[in-house]
Structure 1
Amino acid sequence: MKPRVLLASPVKQQEKVLSEFLDSLARLETTEVKLDFTFIDDHNDHTLLTRFALERPNVRIFPGDTEGDYHRDESTHYWREELIWKVALYKDRFIKIALDEGYDYLFLVDSDLYLDPKTLLHLLSLKKAIVSEVYWTRWKPELIPLPQVWIRDQYTLYASSRGEPLSEEEMNKRTQDFIQMLSHQGTYKVGGLGACTLISRQALERGVSFREIYNLGFTGEDRHFCVRAVALGLELYADTHYPPFHIYRESELNKLRDYKENLSNAIQSHSTLDTSCVVASVTPPHDQTKAHSIQTVSPGKITLAMLVRNESGRHLEIVLKQATEYIDHAVILDDASEDNTVEQCQEILKGIPLTLLSNKKPLFHNEISLRKQLWEMALSTNPEWIIILDADELFEESAPKRLRELLAHSLDIDYFSFRLFDLWTEKHYREDLLWQAHKWYRPFIVRNIPGFQAEWQETPQHCGRFPRNIMDLRGGTSPLRIKHLGWLRPQDRLAKYYRYKQLDPNGTYGNLEQYRSILDPNPNLVLWEID
């Protein structure tokens, strides 16, 4: 008896791209399978899905839920949390249909892929519980093509034992080994996959799902699916025999012609598709892959941006010295300091490219103008990542060695959030009803996205260090902690108290009760534990 397969896709897609996707579905070889199609039409402004359904009897289309903006451009795609979990619900709906209606397999395919006709029958022949066909994508135009499968965690492309210390050179080597392995035809066990995935009924009945695992910080519904699947005792596999073409940008439709021509030539010659020929249009040749160091796919240039004013004798030295261990460029905006802050910055950052500007008149009473000025200065250095720290904010001791790795392997993350601990002594941080900053994650690092239109919270105080609309981008969290040293010294606490009293006397932009609590003689303190 032929296996019954449900091919399903949630669709919010440009008409030109979707037309190619549907064309590839119509060309799938199905001689040994009974194939049905199910789509969720998520408020598309064209009728391609309806026309596809009218031409064949085995197609169902369901309407999408509430409409939401999904932004993509020639650089990348921008996923917001609410969109991710809406797609997760759609995919779980497909799982339920496949279970309720007795399908042997569910084939989940993203609507921006062009599939090789042999894909489905080949994946079925592997008899795996969960397997994805590998494709390659330049997640940003300047990066080398990378696979949509990975080894572990968010998007780590190298294997390592838990706790194994690895040098950057070793991480690079292992990453290249993984990429090279996937450039050869085969089927390989992996830790993460998605977008072109065949799921067996065995896996469906085990309880696989795309719904959020509430205590897992990874971004993207596929990560939650993969973690849950392995926890249920299933294994994940990636196959490289018939890679689809990923139409990640509309401009890549031109390259699709070459891919389709290769497919046509292969069919005409009645031979097995030469994967190396097809992949060449979307991945680098063997020698070209070697020519790229992993730095090509790492964040590249990291710029630190910092506001300073009268920082001499406080925490500036320790903060900047640590920063020199992980940054490529420093941008300092001095707000008319009256001490030797500028000279101190120049001395500490000697050997690091430095952009430094001193305002002639102080603007600290209107913080938003300073934040905008600093942001533009940071962008002018053309970094891949921008880290904004205040002169009294310090990453924990282990961070410099880990930050580079974090950013280098975060190709689908646009900003990182961290927890900030208000240190009241060298070994204690404050925690009470008014002092709970460390319980929440806030952005400190953001990717520089060309064409991003910054929108700010236009308040003179507490306006935020980044544009407010970076939260519309794809965010991730890091367990690395940040120490806020500005409360350590009694004289600094007193100065901040009077500053807030002067600049925000009515608590318009902050919390009057918290301002008053700064001078609490017996605050509740918690021991800072070193990881």
Structure 2
Amino acid sequence: MIRKEINNKLTAMMQVRNEGNRYLRMVLDDVSQYVDAIVILDDGSTDDTVAICKSYPKVVSIGHSHISLYGINESVLKKRLFQRTIATSPDWILAIDADEVLENRAKEHIQSMINQTHTDWYGFRFYHFWKSMTHYRTDKLWAPFHYGPRLFRYMAGATYRWNDQALHGGSLPCNLVTDFPGAPSDLRIKHYGYAGSQEELQRKYNFYVQRDPHSEFCPRSHYDSILDENPILEPWEES
């Protein structure tokens, strides 16, 4: 396994489905500023999601799943996206969703993070924006904390294993933390998946309880908290 350390190439990979009227353009505008390439896997979109992705010069590969597998067999989607991404010969991979944006200062630091030899992955603090794009939630399991790795060095020949559960299985190989040296970063991810209306929150709640009726992959209390009437919110401040 060879660790490249100078002018490493950063490739973002993103799974999408019917994102045309949500945050997709904002996310692609942002990530295009600091990555070298973007790889997309479309999970059966029926809107203009694919056309939007094709309009961005840094999108170098787009795959298609004609039948949506999200919430049914998520691990298949993650593996397909990963295989399509490594086919582009990346040095580092950033897993980002179509409703997520790294905070502004990430653009100043991310190149130095990937141009070194001692750390193979980074985690980020995750902030869930709630019914707005200005305030994030701080109570219950929505409080900001470090998720698993989202940025990692790809090494041809290394063994990467995936969580095979149908839902909430993680965005990157599950053995990164145990098998490779890494570290949490103080950089933050802004997640806008819950920033919409009450009707959108209700749709997300319905989706999760229908796909996970026995709470195999997440506590039911966490799903129920999506519908809390008075969550605790704090205003976002760029650092």
Matches of 2:14 and 2:145, distance apart in 1 = 24
Gaps of 5+ in 1: 1-74, 77-139, 144-296
1:470 aligned partner: 176
2:230 aligned partner: 522
Q: Does 1:306 align with 2:4?
A: no
Q: Which structure carries more relative contact order (alpha carbon 8 Å, separation 6+)? A: 2
The residue type paired with residue 27 of structure 2 is: V
The residue type paired with residue 482 of structure 1 is: I
Matches of 2:59 and 2:100, distance apart in 1 = 21
Matches of 1:504 and 1:298, distance apart in 2 = 44
- Answer whether contact 1:422 1:484 (CA < 8 A) is retained: yes
Q: Pick from 138, 154, 157 the counterpart of residue 451 of structure 1.
A: 157
Return the offset for 1:455.
1.4
Q: Pick from 489, 492, 510 the counterpart of residue 196 of structure 2.
A: 489
Return the offset for 1:394.
0.5
Q: Does 1:460 align with 2:155?
A: no
Q: Pick from 62, 66, 75 the counterpart of residue 356 of structure 1.
A: 62
* Closer/same/farther in 2, CA of residues 500 and 353 from structure 1, 3 Å limit: closer
Matches of 2:9 and 2:201, distance apart in 1 = 36
SS in 1 for 2:210: helix
Q: Does 1:388 align with 2:72?
A: no
Q: Pick from 399, 421, 426 the counterpart of residue 106 of structure 2.
A: 399
Q: Pick from 28, 31, 54 the counterpart of residue 346 of structure 1.
A: 54
Question: Max radius of gyration: which structure?
Answer: 1
1:368 aligned partner: 75
Return the offset for 1:327.
1.0
Return the offset for 1:387.
0.5
Matches of 2:238 and 2:67, distance apart in 1 = 41
Runs of 4+ in 1 over 6 A off after TM superposition: none
Matches of 1:368 and 1:300, distance apart in 2 = 28
1:508 aligned partner: 216
The residue type paired with residue 505 of structure 1 is: P
Which stretch has the larger CA shift, 521-530 or 414-423?
Answer: 521-530
Return the offset for 1:441.
4.4
Alignment coverage as a number of residue pairs:
235
Sequence identity, in percent? 35
Q: Pick from 413, 417, 420 the counterpart of residue 126 of structure 2.
A: 420
The residue type paired with residue 15 of structure 2 is: L
2:84 aligned partner: 377
Matches of 1:353 and 1:331, distance apart in 2 = 6
1:58 aligned partner: none
- Answer whether contact 2:129 2:190 (CA < 8 A) is retained: yes
- Give the structure-2-normalised TM-score: 0.94
Matches of 2:121 and 2:33, distance apart in 1 = 20
SS in 1 for 2:79: helix
SS in 2 for 1:495: helix
* Closer/same/farther in 2, CA of residues 299 and 338 from structure 1, 3 Å limit: same
- Answer whether contact 1:336 1:359 (CA < 8 A) is retained: yes
Q: Structure 1 or 2: larger helix share? A: 1
Matches of 2:187 and 2:77, distance apart in 1 = 27
1:479 aligned partner: 186
Give CA-to-partner distance per residue, 1:377-396, whole Å, 9 cap, x none. 11111100000101001101
Q: Does 1:327 align with 2:28?
A: no
1:442 aligned partner: 148
SS in 2 for 1:514: helix
Matches of 2:100 and 2:6, distance apart in 1 = 25
Gaps of 5+ in 2: none
Give CA-to-partner distance per residue, 1:276-323, whole Å, 9 cap, x none. xxxxxxxxxxxxxxxxxxxxx335211110000000110111111111
Return the offset for 1:526.
1.5
* Closer/same/farther in 2, CA of residues 387 and 299 from structure 1, 3 Å limit: farther
Return the offset for 1:433.
2.2
1:79-228 map, 5 Å: 140=3, 143=4
SS in 2 for 1:305: strand
Return the offset for 1:353.
4.9
